Amino acid sequence: MQFKPLFGLLAGLALIGNAAQAAKIELIVDYPYPDVFNSVHEEIAKRFTQKFPDYTVKFRAPTPEYEAAAQQALRHAVTRQLADVSYQGLNRQRVFVDRNIAVDLTPFIKAEKDWDKSGYSPALMSLGQVNGKQAGIGFSLSTPIVYYNMDLLERAGVKADALPKTWDDIIAAADKSRAANAGTNGLHYDWEITGNWLWQAMVFSKGGRMLDPSETKVAFDDAIGRESIAQMGRMVEHGTMQNLKYKDATQLFVTGKLAVLSSSTSRLSTIEKQIGGKFKMVTGFFPTYGESARVPAGGNVAMMFTKDPERQKAAWEYIKFATGPEGATLMTKATGYFPANTLPVDDPAQLKGYYDANPNQYTAVRQLPWLTGWYAFPGENGLKITDVINDHLQTVFDKSAKPDAALEAMTRDVQKLLK
């Protein structure tokens, strides 16, 4: 009989242990671009679980890029396997709002004390807003920029403090570099990235738009659109740019065989590591034209997909941590992206002084006054439209179609998908 209290105590402890175990939530998280983000997400998850020991984080195998991430999530919505938190491209949020997959984060934000002091500026928050809902919170942001090999260009008379300001000037500088440096290439424009981001960038930088205000008619077939695709045609017209995949072009650039590369600032850390000390590289603004000029934000947001209230609490804490000062600092230092949170920029323990020591990364931040949203095409065919634009741009860069003919065909095919 004297053992009963002991058995009772052990049983009680077991119940407490089971309750604690039951309270522990394993968050399921997915994200794209493993080559850029694997180490970042692992470190963020490690620090998050140290701060919140009742939660753990399990990552799904990452997808190679934004389009694959969106397609995977749409499949998981059908099979009821959605992640609790999903990192999606800025221009892919709309599809999840339209299908009622994304959880509106507005109620969570309103429940926060002093949210206005948390470093989430209205301008940066707007990048995660779709149709009146806060669909996502910015995690990593980028802009298109231009990378210059100054060793090659200085031999052609181009100085780092007087970089070309227009695409025609960039083409001319790249051609001068080819002439001054035998066996090298001139320019590569990373038009393939996410299918249509740099098409949007070219059009927006001249004050144009993708669709009309009603979103029922193509608008990139106007004078600005015609000049934009003609500009792309001039890149390849005289061999300044070769018909190369990004992987091959960047290999030429990091080995000192390409003078100019235009792509996302997200590529910066990888490119700098690959260059090492082989040559001097500087970054410059993406060319803009006129007062209406804009450059589209790239990057991704953290979205909440779980509808379970308890899992939502955990997911919200994770989203705040990943996009907040600590997560933003980790992400910025490990990649070429800039944060969607302003607090670490002025904190000596985080990013204050970091951009002074890394001026190439600061180029994208300096472009913030021109920042605009990454346009998401509406309707069931939104993803298909991206593929169509990509296919028609290919014909410009491989010279199988004249730029004006490519634009006409692109306009026709996109218009059909809008209907």
What is the DSSP code (8-state) at residue 186? E
Cα 376 to Cα 336: distance, rounded to the nearest angstrom = 23
Average pLDDT for 37-46: 97
The pLDDT tens digits for 160-213 are 999 999 999 999 999 999 999 999 999 999 999 988 999 999 999 999 999 999
pLDDT of 4 reads 46
What is the DSSP code (8-state) at residue 60? P
What is the DSSP code (8-state) at residue 185? E
* Cβ neighbours for 182, distance < 8 A, ≥ 6 positions apart: none
What is the DSSP code (8-state) at residue 25? E
Is the entire prediction scored with pTM above 0.85?
yes
Average pLDDT for 42-66: 96
The pLDDT tens digits for 200-250 are 999 999 999 999 999 999 999 999 999 999 999 999 999 999 999 999 999
What is the total residue count of the chain? 419
**Which stretch of 2-6, 115-119, 349-353 has the lowest confidence by average pLDDT?**
2-6
Mean pLDDT, the chain, rounded, equals 93
pLDDT of 336 reads 83
Ordered structural domains, the chain, with CATH: 25-142+297-372 (3.40.190.10), 144-296+377-418 (3.40.190.10)
pLDDT band at 272 (very low <50, low <70, confident <90, very high): very high
Task: Kindly list the distances between the CA atom of residue 123 and the CA atoms of 334, 340, 372, 373, in Å, as whole numbers in the listed order.
Answer: 24, 9, 9, 10
